[in-house]
Amino acid sequence: MKPWAARLITYGVSGGLAALAIAFMRPLPERGGRPLADVAGLASSWEERVDSIAHGETLAKVLERGGVSGPSMLKALHVMSTSKMLNPNRVRGGMQISFGGVRDSVPRQVSFQVDVDRVVRLVRDDSVWTARVDTIPWTVDTLVVQGAITSSLYEGLYAADSDLPRSSRTELAWSVANIFEFRIDMSRDVQQGDAFRVLVERRKLPNGTTRMGDLLAATFTNGGATVEAIRHMLDGRAKYYDQQGRSLAANFLLAPLEFRRISSNFGGRRHPVLGIFRRHQGTDYAASSGTPVRAIGDGVVIAAGTRGGYGNSIDVRHTNGIVTRYGHLRGYAKGIRGGTRVAMGQTIGYVGMTGLATGPHLHFEVLVNGVARNPRTTLQAKAGPPLPAAQRAEFDAMRLRYLALIEQQGSSRVTAINVN
């Protein structure tokens, strides 16, 4: 055979073998995206089994139940400890744990759902375990929530027909109330026909899990007057300012309870126990026994003890001759006694029904130079400090941008409805 013919045959055979090799060769795994079962060539026999750790149960017990035991389990626990991605001794009860592998063999992957967007995975290659964290990315958009008040902000948002989870609507209602609590007491100042608009970030996972992000801006029209709340970063902290650039924070909170449900207002009424008509010196907040009571401003406790019909009560002295009184308490917060300094929002006691009370509620009074005043008008919030002049231009630009987003997205709305 001539040399050129031999070379031709050799090239033909080599090419044929290469083609066969390419035809039957498994493609290389893509970086970071393919399941372990595909990479290992086990897709047809791969099994996933989901378990969870019971309260009080050890992680070792769950691993053993999932097929990881003996030396293999010890190695897996060691990798978890040294990687510091998950402390084996502090795995919370109820955590979802999944085991993946070939049927009737030691699992090749153990996954721990440490959070809705974070999974710690132990991956086994022969007898060696390695650990990694997979983060599930959130998508973020903005949502405008708006409506007219017919009952209350809380009940309206909670019962609203929308694609927001009920838990997110509840969270949003509390956020709005907390932001405006220096200007508007949502339990007694709101009235039918009031309106609100909120621009809030919404975070979503591929599995449909939704969480509220930052509340960027809100407007609340109360009694015909509109108050804006615009989020602005100052000294590394998020704060809210009105349309004039004045802080929404003030020297006094408008309500001593976070659960604001009032049973009677300041003025004349028939006393529920004595059965006589006399001037009521404050405001009653009906709430479950044990509800935390907070100081409405910085001050000093000048009395903490039993006071006649008030039952267990606390008096706090503030600036400008103002004293606030909290009556019918079930008890006092730890450390609360005469001379104790308290901060605005600090828990000082708990709702009860001591003294002349027919049910659990807080009796709240405001005294100015010893004379009882209407808490609503006396504590009506005054404007907080303005933004520094150097930041006003940036704030104004952000405000206009947020208000424009509210107008553009206004068709995506949640309506507050009356649930009574």
User: Is 370's pLDDT higher than 60?
Assistant: yes
What pLDDT score does 258 carry?
Answer: 78
Q: Judge if 267 and 346 occupy the same domain.
A: yes
User: Contact, 387 vs 398, CB < 8 A?
Assistant: no
Answer yes or no: is 44 within a domain: yes
pLDDT band (50, 70, 90) for residue 169: confident
User: Same structural domain for residues 400 and 367?
Assistant: no
Q: CATH number of the domain that 189 lies in?
A: 3.10.450.350
The rounded distance, in Å, linking the Cα atoms of 384 and 77 is 54
Does residue 257 lie within any of the structural domains?
no
Residue 214 within any structural domain of the chain? yes
| 3-class secondary structure per residue, 161-195 | CCCCCHHHHHHHHHHHHHHHCCCCCCCCCCCCCCE
More confident residue, 255 or 39: 255
Using DSSP, state whether 26 is helix, strand or coil.
coil
Report the share of the chain in percent with pLDDT over 70.
79
Q: Based on the fold, state whether residues 320 and 349 are members of the same structural domain.
A: yes
Number of domains in the chain: 3
Q: Is it the case that residue 106 has pLDDT exceeding 60?
A: yes
Picking from 135, 162, 190, the residue at the C-terminal end of a domain is: 135
Tell me the per-residue pLDDT of 132-163, one tens digit each, with 9 for 90 and over.
999 999 999 888 888 788 877 877 676 555 66
Lowest mean pLDDT among 66-75, 184-193, 240-249, 291-300: 184-193
Residues facing 48 on adjacent strands: 100
Same domain, 371 and 267: yes
pLDDT of residue 381: 58
DSSP state letters, 104-158: TS--SEEEEEEETTEEEEEEEETTEEEEEEEEPPPEEEEEEEEEE-SS-HHHHHH
Q: Say how many Å lie between the first and final Cα of the chain, rounded.
A: 102
Instruction: Quote the pLDDT of residue 267.
Output: 54
Residues 6+ apart with CB under 8 A from 249: 182, 239, 240, 384
**Position with higher pLDDT, 326 vs 418:** 326
Report the 3 state secondary structure along 196-211: EEEEEEEEECCCCCEE
Do 373 and 285 sit in the same domain of this protein? yes
Which position has the higher pLDDT, 63 or 414?
Answer: 63
Q: What is the pLDDT of residue 414?
A: 45
The partner residues of 280 in beta bridges, in order of sequence, read 267
Q: How confident is the model at residue 14 (pLDDT cuts 50, 70, 90)?
A: very low
Q: Which residues pair with 264 in a beta bridge?
A: 284
pLDDT at 18 over 70: no
Q: What are the pLDDT digits (tens) for 206-233?
A: 888 888 899 999 999 998 999 999 999 9
**Mean of the pLDDT values across residues 1-5?**
47
Residue 85 has pLDDT above 70, yes or no: yes
Residue 21 lies in a domain: no
Residues 358-366, mean pLDDT to the nearest whole number: 91
Sign of the alpha-carbon torsion through 34, 39, 44, 48: negative
Q: Average model confidence (pLDDT) for the chain?
A: 80
- Please tell me whether residues 165 and 235 are part of one structural domain: yes
Q: Is residue 276 part of a domain?
A: yes
> Alpha-carbon torsion 47, 50, 51, 52, what sign?
positive
* 314 and 369 share one domain: yes
Give this prediction's pTM: 0.65
Is residue 341 in a domain? yes
Residue 417 has pLDDT above 50, yes or no: no
CA distance 406 to 220: 13
For residue 272, what pLDDT is reported? 52
Q: Verify that 295 and 357 share a domain, yes or no.
A: yes
Do residues 123 and 206 share a domain? Answer: no
Last residue of a domain, one of 110, 135, 160: 135
Banded model confidence at residue 419, pLDDT cuts 50, 70, 90:
very low
The predicted pLDDT at position 410 comes to: 63
Domain boundary among 94, 115, 135: 135
CA dist 346 → 165, 296, 313 (Å): 31, 8, 16
Q: Looking at the structure, do residues 355 and 280 belong to the same domain, yes or no?
A: yes
The enclosing domain of 296 has a CATH number of 2.70.70.10
Please indicate, yes or no, whether residues 230 and 305 belong to a single structural domain of this protein.
no
Q: What integer pLDDT is reported at residue 21 of this predicted model?
A: 37
Q: Can you give the pLDDT at residue 263?
A: 45
Model pLDDT, residue 191: 84
Query: Which domain range does residue 83 map to?
Result: 36-135
Residue 76 lies in a domain: yes
> What pLDDT was estimated at residue 280?
57
Tell me, yes or no, whether 225 lies in a domain. yes
pLDDT in the model for residue 318: 93
The predicted structure's pLDDT at residue 159 = 59
**According to the model, what pLDDT value does residue 238 have?**
93
pLDDT of residue 313: 97
Query: Are 275 and 373 found together in one domain?
Result: yes
